[in-house]
Amino acid sequence: MPHVPPSLPPVAVDPDTLRRVIPREMQEAPRWVLYRNAPGPGFNAKARKVPVYADGGARTGKLDTPRDQQRLVTMEQALSALQGFPGYGLGFALGQGPTPGVQWQGIDLDAISQHPELIALFDMAPGYKERSPSGDGFHVIGQGPHFNTLGSNRTGIEAYAGARFLTVTGNSLGGELADLAPFVNEVLAPLHAKKPPGSDRAPTPAPVAAVTSRPA
């Protein structure tokens, strides 16, 4: 067993809750990693979430390769591995889904206290939903085709269909696995692109009609 750096702060994991609320298809998918909290750069910086494989190796280098995928595990295997990594949490690796052309997708809405407009977007989104570890953000997980990445910027909106992982808390807010691509492309992407430089607020969310009127 390699040296295990501490997770600061430690992460609380409730296996029974995870088994009850996480969609079965997610639980059984070999897409799980562990992660630890590590101090961020600079004074009073936000902690970084550092992913590690269940065998203790750092998840670095090019992701979504066959070599990377071979080291991802199911949720039960990840929970078992946690016994050797006290204070670590669980994460779900976005990317290759159960069949060719299907990706595990994720949305990360962050700093809700600064961007309360994002609550409406979260309510509108399809997919499995839960609170982030900080309690000040929301995560959504689904599966469907690849879409262009929406990286971190001032909007608080991020969306990925690979090469990232989302922390999994089990603090579920409901929802079933669904294709996130239409919502990301039609609703989130325009808002993500229109953030005024230096603004402290996210753009006004699209009206509900923008989502409910699209073809099924």
DSSP 31: -
Give rounded-to-5 percent helix, strand, coil for the chain: 25, 25, 55
Q: Determine whether 40 is exposed, middle or buried from the number of CB atoms within 10 Å of its CB (0-12, 13-18, 19+).
A: exposed
pLDDT in tens, 48-66: 999 999 999 999 999 999 9
SS3 assignment, position 40: coil
Cβ–Cβ contacts within 10 Å for residue 31, how many?
23
Backbone angles phi, psi at 21, to 5 degrees: -105, -25
* Mean pLDDT along residues 23-45: 91
Using a cut of 0.85, tell me whether the model's pTM lies above it.
yes
Model confidence band, residue 197 (pLDDT cutoffs 50, 70, 90): low
pLDDT above 50 for 76: yes
SS3 assignment, position 48: strand
Give me 128's structure tokens.
């499995």
What are the residues whose beta carbons fall under 8 Å from the beta carbon of 208, sequence distance 6 or more? 124
Separation of first and last alpha carbons in the chain: 50
E-strand ranges in 3-47 read 32-38
